[in-house]
Amino acid sequence: MARLYVLLFLAQIVLAVCALISCLSAEEGQIRALPRIAWVLIILFFPLVGSIAWFVAGREPDPAARRAWPAGGASTGRQPRRPLAPDDDPEFLRSVQDGSRQQDQELFRRWEEDLRRREDDLRRRDGDPPREGDRPEV
């Protein structure tokens, strides 16, 4: 009998923790009936009743969760979801790639200019005139 009480107590704690996480991570528009702090206090002081009340009456139901799965992966016509992180955003990744490409091109251009300048310096030391086609553009 004691094991049953321990099991029910642990289930109550798990339910309260899940309700607290859900309450604290809910957006402002998803909370109904009471302010967030009131829901947190209810869940903390009355773990079983408060947790059940939160899941039943405290949060706005998610309309996407009740929608049936589209058959065959067909599009539902909804707007695409906003990326969760910058590395999930194709536009951000494209801008990073373009920026690195521009930096690489600028670095390559500087290296070429430096190489031409060094070649001209070596030719001057050896007494050879610099070649016309190899002069760096100023």
CA distances from 59 to 10, 33, 88, 127 (A): 24, 9, 28, 84
pLDDT digits (tens, 9 = 90+) for 103-136: 889 999 999 999 999 999 988 888 766 566 555 5
For residue 120, what are the contacts with CB-CB under 8 A and spacing of at least 6? Answer: 130, 134, 135, 136
**How is the chain split into domains, by residue range?**
9-62, 85-138
Q: Which of 55, 66, 70, 47 is nearest to 23 (CA)?
A: 55
49 closest CA partner among 79, 78, 16: 16
pLDDT band at 20 (very low <50, low <70, confident <90, very high): very high
59, pLDDT greater than 90: no
Query: How many angstroms separate the Cα of 98 from the Cα of each of 21, 25, 89, 93, 102?
Result: 40, 36, 14, 9, 6
